[in-house]
Chains A and B, each alone.
Chain A
């Protein structure tokens, strides 16, 4: 029996998003035993996640005094020592580390597990990631707008499981039974339409204003003659009370009044959930509840959008979207781009078309991009815009990149993949303008290709010199490598569209830092050649756009 350990110390939403990976592992390794290690603050949800055979709760915070009291280093040390020893004693066959942290990287290393997927540290404590999908995942934040892969698919790919287009998994039968009497107590009749409102968000700045939630709930309640249920954890009570105070329609305020299980049940009961990018949204995705989700400020739909096919995402059409996680905005103007009426209209559109939301007129939903998720023919989640607009540079390149990364999954290199998507969901770009743009981009990729090509060539030469024992020559070339790598780095900074390739190249370089000379040259050569291949692929696709 294969014993698998998954380290995931991230939040509730992320844990739910891990569920397809767990299902996939169970299929790939029939009879395997899965242990999930999760942080105590978020581990509660795991009770309702199928495919977990054993939980390990990570709770070092019990020893850490943040109130100014003194934390005993010895206590924290011995907690970690014991935690690692306990896991090591299990003798796992496989480790999948889905946390980004250095802590789990070191922990992973200490467990001495032969098959490791995800971030792990080397013997000297440096982080290394060998899996290309997890490399992609961990550098994602530097090229967000060029990424079209949902986190859930990346989790699966990182764990070696191919997405199968099946959505999230959660046990909701028990929670449904728990929620029914609760809703009845508040006067919700059987069969009565319920609108769920989740106004919170882990980051305060990411929240759509409470008055807007209130207004959209009022509009929907009136239009549908439905009951509104305000959802939220105890910590969000103040915010939810604000929504409640601003509402005119009768509603039920459940903030802080539900357990996690009851919350799952209530969400399942809703005809629609209106929400920011939250854990509740992922619960709704898992229970099949239609979702109208606001992706504002830092939250980006392609990345963390609901992993389901019954949702509409609203994003602001503003140049700076999505914000960098590290930035603080002086205005947060994007919060007001989406109006309460738009949210209500989106909900009607969604609920009114259970078999697929149709496109909307280009003049509707001004300053807002509407997206709806679907599972593509390869089993991956994708988003399509509902308003036909002229595609942006990013839209086009992101599509080409998606095709590049999906080659191993049966996506060919033909022009149909990109052109088909653009034709179906976008209006046509002016031909002359497109030609000028393509030429400019070709130039950028050609330069990148030249630099990488030189790299590949001199690596080859260095390999021959090494064989002939000419270390002096090899050393001379090392300087040139540094210059080339610097040029690649600079190209990424000057042309953000190169960032995905450049970041992955850099990570690859970092991974081989300590290899023996021959291996180092071999791996370097693969990296340079990979870069040349990537540039060639993109250039071909760009040229096809003109045909």
Chain B
């Protein structure tokens, strides 16, 4: 009786703390489909439990798990992530020691059980808690610098996969945040990869890398001006090819100057083998993300030997052929979404009407789409995009009349449509590509928007999104029509799939995730030394506030006063210093004079 009362008290106390401190977890307590885990008693009377028949805490003195976890914390660490809440015994000492603890609990059932039966008030009061299988999202707004991650060991029997994903993401993010590797990103002049280039850049910056981007799209206008130079096709081709090579050389020059830790080249970047050979001489690892169909764009075999890392959206046959073409290290890295841009939107009534329809398609008018969509004209079907034959029956449905749309407009369409159609482009087929393997970015973009989509079957899709739960597919026109008919009258099912799809993308298919995966491969291969120079003792010393502190500590008040002219959070820029000095009138102070000399040594050379 006594213990039951005790547990009732825990339950009430925990429920109050959850409402107060973790309101987002409150709904989980009432989720219907979870299994109840009944508590047991340890030999000393404390509540413990078994998960699928396995004891998750010691059967004698579970409270001894506290000092054991604390003993694993490295000296000086202030923040930790612990995988597994259990009944919280292992967390007691780290919380008491004043560490900032973030708890990741992969099981809703265990969380419910703990909330109802265990004394976890101290956890609820002092820790951040994440519950559910989407464990990696914990990291998205988390500063991993100086943080240690630990697992409550019994969890690894059941959640090894989740923990491994979390750990790899964590370690990569931590390394990036701490070492700030300098990445030079080389992008295309024009084409479909333009946006991917921008998203990759954003993701790398978010992770904490120092990114120098060579955005070749700035040269797009001049590139296409070559078309006005002469109608002679051969000459135009040669001129464009020279221009492309020139941009490749510019990329080499930039890399030579910046000496980055890594050069990341996006598909279609203007780097041919001449420029690549020169890039290799810089002895900087070069990675390539070939976000293209290897069967359509075939230059990969020529450039393969020049890259240290070749990331692809296809594997199997492609990886075999890359190996034969001399690629060094090949890894699969599918496309992704950028949730900062691809997100659910609250639309105005006008937007809903203008951009909305039962069925919509957004994309270019490739041949297979032009043919296949004839079978869908019976629906309230709006088509958006470019390169459509506006005179055809399908073309009549093209709302924007081939005008180029902004990405913001896409997002509105995705959000306003009941069903978004996704059909991978194919130049060889008149409908669904029977050997289609890779997944286009649209799959992830639509899902990230929380939009419902029907997508043609692709062999790589099931590994990325669970069909029927997180996404819905079709293999033929008949199946597509059946599903359109079904889902148009089942909005709740559409919403459930769309919600699950968005969750999945946020967890596994963002550009940040992709960059984590890419950098994990590169870190593990390049070894401990990768980008380590930044971590040398001098690191951070050029941050203005640190320099001010150092000057004060040394009693150099004049220097400290001078440094206060600059943004304390930023690295001191010698250009800003010399601009500041040049603006000043009259005689130079000592600090100014010395800075002019520093400038001579470090900048003018």
Contacts and interface: CB of A to CB of B under 8 A. Distances in A.
A125 B539 contact: no
Contact of A74 (B550, B581, B585, B600): B550
Interface in B71-126: none
Contacts of A84: 594
Given A60-B601, A73-B572, A84-B594, A125 B541 contact: no
A75 B538 contact: yes
B594 A80 contact: yes
A73 B601 contact: no
B601 A74 contact: no
Contacts of B250: none
A123 interface: yes
**Interface residues on chain B, size class:** 20 to 34
Contacts of B588: 123-125
A115 interface: no
A101 B603 CA distance: 13
B533 A65 contact: yes
Contacts, number: 84
Interface in B527-566: 533-534, 536, 538-539, 541-542, 547, 550-551, 554, 556, 559
Contact of B533 (A68, A73, A106, A107): A68
Given A70-B538, A72-B538, A102 B600 contact: yes
B604 interface: yes
B396 interface: no
B590 interface: yes
A77 B595 CA distance: 7
A25 to B, nearest CB: 26
Interface secondary structure of B, over-half rule: helix
Interface in A72-89: 72-78, 80-81, 84
A110 interface: yes
Given A102-B604, A106-B596, A110-B590, A70 B547 contact: no
Nearest to A68: B259
B598 A77 contact: yes
A69 B541 CA distance: 13
A80 B538 contact: no
A81 B586 CA distance: 21
Q: Which of B538, B581, B590 is packed against the most chain A CB atoms within 10 Å?
A: B538
A71 interface: yes
B605 to A, nearest CB: 9
A60 B594 CA distance: 13
Contacts of B593: 106, 109-110, 125
A64 interface: yes
User: Which of A64, A68, A72, A73 lies at the interface centre, i.e. has the most chain B CB atoms within 10 A of its CB?
Assistant: A73
B111 to A, nearest CB: 44
Contact of A124 (B536, B586, B602): B586
A355 interface: no
B595 A69 contact: no
Contact of A81 (B536, B574, B594): B594
A74 B542 contact: yes
A53 interface: no
A84 B596 CA distance: 13
Given A64-B601, A65-B533, A123-B586, A71 B538 contact: yes
Contact of B539 (A70, A74, A124): A70
B533 A77 contact: no
B281 interface: no
B83 to A, nearest CB: 34
B587 interface: yes
Contacts of A78: 554
Contact of B600 (A65, A72, A103, A110): A103
B234 to A, nearest CB: 29
A480 to B, nearest CB: 28
Interface in A35-70: 60, 64-65, 67-70
A123 B586 CA distance: 7
Nearest to B595: A77
Given A65-B533, A125-B588, A125-B593, A73 B547 contact: yes
B574 A73 contact: yes
Interface string A110-140: 1000000000000111000000000000000
B156 interface: no
Nearest to B578: A125
Contacts of B541: 70, 72-75
Interface in A300-316: none
A281 to B, nearest CB: 27
A232 to B, nearest CB: 26
Contacts of B534: 69-70
Contact of A73 (B259, B539, B554, B598): B598
Nearest to B547: A74
B399 interface: no
Contacts of A64: 601-602
Contact of A72 (B542, B581, B596): B542
Contacts of B586: 123-124
B597 interface: yes
Contacts of B590: 81, 110
B542 A106 contact: no
A70 B598 contact: no
Contacts of A103: 597, 600-601
A65 B539 CA distance: 12
A67 B534 CA distance: 11
Contact of B587 (A68, A71, A101, A124): A124
Contacts of A71: 538, 602
Q: Most chain-A Cβ atoms within 10 A of its Cβ — which of B556, B592, B596?
A: B596
A76 B597 CA distance: 9
B298 to A, nearest CB: 36
A401 B551 CA distance: 54
Given A65-B533, A110-B590, A73 B602 contact: yes
A125 B542 contact: no
A285 B49 CA distance: 93
Contacts of A74: 541-542, 547, 550-551
Given A67-B533, A68-B533, A70-B533, A123 B587 contact: yes
B598 A69 contact: no
Interface string B569-591: 00010100000010001111010
Given A69-B538, A123-B587, A125-B581, A102 B559 contact: no
A39 to B, nearest CB: 11
Contacts of B581: 125
A126 to B, nearest CB: 10
A107 B536 contact: no
Contacts of B259: 68
Contact of A70 (B542, B585, B594, B597): B542
A81 B536 CA distance: 23
Nearest to B601: A60
A70 B533 CA distance: 7
Contacts of A68: 259, 261, 533
Contacts of B536: 69-70
A434 B590 CA distance: 58
Contacts of B554: 78
Interface of B: 259, 261, 533-534, 536, 538-539, 541-542, 547, 550-551, 554, 556, 559, 572, 574, 581, 585-588, 590, 592-598, 600-602, 604
Instruction: For the complex of A and B, list the 10 residue pairs with the smallest distance between their C-beta atoms, beginning with the closest.
Output: A123-B587, A69-B533, A72-B538, A103-B600, A72-B541, A68-B259, A70-B538, A103-B597, A80-B597, A80-B594
Given A69-B536, A76-B602, 14 more contacts: A67-B533, A68-B533, A72-B538, A74-B541, A75-B538, A75-B541, A76-B598, A77-B559, A77-B594, A81-B559, A106-B593, A123-B587, A123-B588, A125-B581
28 contacts: A64-B601, A65-B533, A67-B533, A68-B259, A68-B533, A69-B536, A70-B536, A70-B538, A70-B539, A73-B574, A74-B541, A74-B542, A74-B551, A75-B541, A76-B602, A80-B598, A81-B559, A81-B594, A84-B594, A101-B600, A102-B604, A103-B601, A106-B600, A107-B597, A110-B590, A110-B593, A123-B588, A125-B588
